[in-house]
Structure 1
Amino acid sequence: MYKTIDLFAGIGGIRRGFELTKSFTNVLSAEIDPYACETYKHLFDEDPFNDVTSETFKKKVEKTEYDILLGGFPCQAFSIAGKKQGFEDRTRGTLFFDIADIINRTRPKAFLLENVEGLLRHKQGQTIRVVLETLINELNYKIIGVEIGENGIIYNPRDLVLNSKNFGIPQNRPRVYLMGFDKKLYGNNVNSLPIANLPQKKEGLPLYKDLNDLLEFGANPEYYLAEGYLETLKRHKNRHKGKGNGFGYIIVNPPSNDKPISNALLATGGSGKERNLVYDFQDNIGGMEVKTKRTPLNAEGVRFMTPREWGKLQGFVEYGFIENGVDRFSFPENISKGQQYKQFGNSVTIPVIEELAKSMAQCLAFLEEESSTKNLIL
């Protein structure tokens, strides 16, 4: 059983994906958002409140026996003004610097880092290049999908991106994943791993045939848009359409699409929800008056997805926390619906992480076997 630490933990999606494989157990977590910490405590019976950037936490990691570092990190610009041009100069002040610093101090056997797809384009590709150069050249790790050529690192950006829609979940959510193995520990065996690229799909039947298979039709009236609000969204979209822009609300399960999927869930409230509206027709909904809305409900059956549906789109609900046939996922009572949307939107898709964890376990088994064989020969 490999021991993991869970950095920038959110509500524990990466941790849970690894736990599902039965090959990993978590020993230390770090998250500073108080609401996310409440949910994390509720789910894992562990308080993750730690600041990754603090020397106190880094000392705690140094004293913790662990094997695998897990974490996502915000996409931030790096300075290139440092005199030494090492990662301490180039990345200081960013959260990636703190990850690199912890890796440098503690030398985990492997790591998995997650980020938005925009990382690949950030600063015209400069940011991802600094990240990869730091991990490969300075920290001496092998990154799956990245090779070293005469003129430096070589990679196809598409090899670093996995999309939730290929892992049984009807959500178009491309994300960057960097899986690394310690070359200092395992030597050239890292160049003979059983996988050359990250898994691009989940084997077997999808969890849901499409978005309509996931949606829970007949939702509470509170989720339906007020007529006035829907008209405002239509006007806004038409204004931008006239300018040639693609901004505006999106209904993701139109009758014309027989295999609908959602757009990427976002950690922001309004805009993220408006680009994932759905049709859910119910008799007597149109014209209904709801106290919290200024105008009656729309007659087109247009509503927001519910937090529970977002939870299914991230693999938390009806997948990640099923034990003995019972889904034990829930939020603490004090977590508002707004926070529920934010926490799901800010998380990872658990089935994607689970497949990555399986691949990592396969690679680690290979590396440990090769290392033990080498020691026997010696």
Structure 2
Amino acid sequence: MKMSKNYSDIREKLKIVVDKKTTNEMAHLTHYFQNYKNGVSQYYGPTAKEYLAELHENLEIVQEPDFQYYLPIKWDVPFPPLENPKFKFIDLFAGIGGIRLAFQNNGGKCVFTSEWDSFAKKTYEANFGEVPFGDITEISEKEIPDHDILLGGFPCQPFSIAGVSKKNSLGRQHGFLDKTQGTLFFDIARIIEHKKPKVFMLENVKNLVSHDKKKTFKVITETLTELGYSLHYKVLDAKYYVPQHRERIIIVGFNKSVFNEQENFEFPKPPDVELALREILEKKVDDKYTLSDKLWNYLQEYKKKHQAKGNGFGFGLTDLNGVSRTLSARYYKDGAEILIPQRGKSPRRLTPRECARIQGFPDNFIIPVSNNQAYKQFGNSVAMPLIQAVGKNIVKELLKINEPKKSKDAVHQ
């Protein structure tokens, strides 16, 4: 039997480095490595083979640029692909992979992933051994493999109903899809329209529901319904899963032609627990995380000024026996929303590892970027255990549909 090669050795040999210069060719290569035997390899094979030949030539590698030499791979990354997955999913607006991790933990295999930020890609590759494709707006829906579940924590931009004449000239008239053009939600809609996954799950900030006098959410739900899905949505708070108050809207859609609106899906009931922030704190923390006297004084004055005006702005000195405020992507600026009190000195901000924990990421999750980037990445990510709990209920319904059709081949899909 052929010896498996370690991914870490292949990464070193082929100089797989993720930075601003990283192209989609590297995404093709790593996606092929992870999907060469599960029925989606044709999406990645041709470009991956060309790119491998190019790498061999540029790096003057003596072996022939043949995938037989590299495969199978032993995935010595923290979160390797599953050997016998129960379903396939795609990970859009993937960030650092919080949603992927939740659905991998529920037995799934990721067959396509996309994320435009190069620092987030670096963290993603370090943990999953796969480089995400770049800007989803530049990727055709025809280049995306078949999948059971589409996942996306998409950024929300305001919808503009303008520009209809331009769309007409392009021959694009898709009902509600038309209204979403020019937004990132449009890219989710066009992929759903083309690929017709059995289920999707979308995650967004709570404000999406009320945004623009509720018009934005109306366009989104009407679009998804028109695409043939029965919808379930709810604002959920992560504080029952991690010691952080974090409300997010989760939208789940089941394909009507597959489930006939008979799915028995419910959002998970929150566990009856009281979490405490102190449980996720590191024992020893470098003094560099303590706020300078100058910054601490500034934050106190800022809070007083706004309190006088009746505003709630200011810092959040956290009760260590309770849950914190919401971790945001701006945490790197001053850490003001979650400050840890310290005896005899100014409070401190969370460390990047504590930010990982407050989002429910396990301690073997690698943080290969600077502190500032790490704060942004965890602030932009999801509370992973909450997504995993929602995912568990989605997968339960999906497997009722998938199970009867199982053939011997399907196990390896």
The answer as to whether partners of 2:98 and 2:384 remain within 8 angstroms in 1 is yes
Give the aligned partner of residue 141 of structure 1. 229
Shift of 1:217: 4.3
1:117 is aligned to 206
C-alpha deviations, 1:147-195, integer Å up to 9, x for none? xxxxxxxxxxxxx11111022x1100000111111112332xx2x3223
Question: 1:315 Cα shift?
Answer: 1.0
Contact 1:218 1:280 in 2 (8 A): no
Q: Matched residue pairs, number? A: 313
SS at match of 1:316: coil
Partners of 1:271 and 1:161 in 2: how far apart?
28
Contact persistence 1:87–1:97 (CA under 8 A): no
Partner of 1:347: 381
Q: Rate the CA distance shift 1:185–1:209 in 2: closer, same or farther, 3 A.
A: closer
Q: Which runs of 5+ in 2 are unaligned?
A: 1-85, 166-172, 407-413
Q: Does 1:199 align with 2:268?
A: yes
Between the aligned partners of 1:246 and 1:277, the Cα distance in structure 2 is: 16
Is the CA contact (8 Å cut-off) linking 1:50 and 1:57 kept in structure 2? Answer: no
Change (3 A) 1:18 1:164: same
CA shift for structure 1 position 85: 7.9
Map residues 171-320 of structure 1 onto 2, 5 A cutoff.
171-187=244-260, 190=261, 192-195=262-265, 197-202=266-271, 209-253=275-319, 259-270=321-332, 273-281=335-343, 299-318=344-363
State which of 78, 91, 107 in structure 1 corresponds to 2:159: 78
1:166 to 2:240 alignment: yes
CA contact (8 A) 2:153 2:202 kept: yes
- Cα distance between partner residues in 1 of 2:332 and 2:365: 25
Q: Is the 8 A contact 2:91 2:112 kept in 1?
A: yes
Contact 1:13 1:349 in 2 (8 A): yes
Q: Deviations over 1:220-273 (max 9, x none)?
A: 11000111211111111111111111111110126xxxx311111101234672
SS where residue 69 of structure 1 aligns?
A: strand
Name the SS for the 2:218 alignment partner.
helix
Q: Shift in Å at residue 65 of structure 1?
A: 2.6
Give the C-alpha shift of residue 312 in structure 1: 0.3
The alignment's TM-score, normalised by the length of structure 2, stands at 0.72
Identity of aligned residues (%): 40
Give the unaligned 5+ runs of structure 1.
Answer: 146-159, 282-298, 319-327, 373-378
Question: Which residue number in structure 2 is paired with residue 41 of structure 1?
Answer: 125
Cα distance in 2, alignment partners of residues 29 and 57 from structure 1: 13
Alignment of 1:358-373 (within 5 A): 358-368=392-402
Number of the residue aligned with 1:331:
367
Contact 1:308 1:317 in 2 (8 A): no
Q: For the residues of structure 2 that align with 1:3 and 1:371, how far apart are their CA atoms?
A: 15
Rate the CA distance shift 1:265–1:272 in 2: closer, same or farther, 3 A.
farther
For the residue of structure 2 that corresponds to 1:143, the secondary structure is: strand
1:143 Cα offset (Å): 1.0
Distance 1:16 1:272, change over 3 A: farther
Answer whether contact 2:318 2:338 (CA < 8 A) is retained: yes
RMSD: 2.1
